[in-house]
Amino acid sequence: AQKITQTQPGMFVQEKEAVTLDCTYDTSDQSYGLFWYKQPSSGEMIFLIYQGSYDEQNATEGRYSLNFQKARKSANLVISASQLGDSAMYFCAMRLNTGGFKTIFGAGTRLFVKA
Amino acid sequence: DAMVIQNPRYQVTQFGKPVTLSCSQTLNHNVMYWYQQKSSQAPKLLFHYYDKDFNNEADTPDNFQSRRPNTSFCFLDIRSPGLGDAAMYLCATSRTRGDNEQFFGPGTRLTVL
């Protein structure tokens, strides 16, 4: 069964420090995509970063990087130099590239950035 | 510039009274999705349209229906809302189903009294 697991319901980080949000996934498919989305209190989901299952290099987008370990089926999000505006809910998601391209979301991690 | 617009942002309805939520997009994307997100939970896909082709998730209750009259608009109809249907409803679009990004609207928060 396809599943996304985020084991950290809440995380605290000091402003300007780096933080890692954990994500593990389960699928028997060979072709899939992994995503991270940010959801501020306003409710809108904001795309952060994408990693394809066949990509050999870890994805990076500005202060965001995705630590992709395929053998461990993990796709952790690293946020460098945290800012107060990073306080939000973060969702890890997986899109299966077969059977209708369904996207499955994890339960989310709420990040609190302290000044 | 708003790309995915959802109206209204907040909707209150009564138990059993039909309600329609609206989503429009200016991106000319082929795919439009509806997600249900209950408090402190992950978004759950209800269905999506790939152009005019409707794709329902197996576990989406029959109480939920959708219409896509044209590329720009997609509606979510809840025929007989129950208390358990109170949630945030998120609309999203993507150019194709295999795209690396879905663009989300701000959501409609539905309250059922």
Is it the case that residue B69 has pLDDT exceeding 90? Answer: yes
Query: Tokens for B71?
Result: 């590329």
CA distance A50 to A16: 24
CA distance B19 to B14: 9
**What is the average pLDDT score of chain A?**
93
Residue B22: which pLDDT band, with cuts at 50, 70 and 90? very high
Judged by DSSP in three states, A18 sits in coil
Percent of chain A with pLDDT over 90: 81
pLDDT value of position B2: 66
More confident residue, A36 or A102: A36
pLDDT value of position B101: 84
Cβ atoms within 10 Å, residue B40: 10
Is it the case that residue A108 has pLDDT exceeding 90? Answer: yes
Percent of chain B with pLDDT over 70: 98
Model pLDDT for residues B76-113, shown as the tens digit of each residue: 999 999 999 999 999 999 998 877 788 999 999 999 99
Q: Is A52 on the interface with B (CB under 8 A)?
A: yes
Chain B CB contacts of A107 below 8 Å: 41-42
First CA to last CA distance, chain A: 41
User: Distance (Å) from the C-alpha of residue A37 to the closest C-alpha of chain B?
Assistant: 10
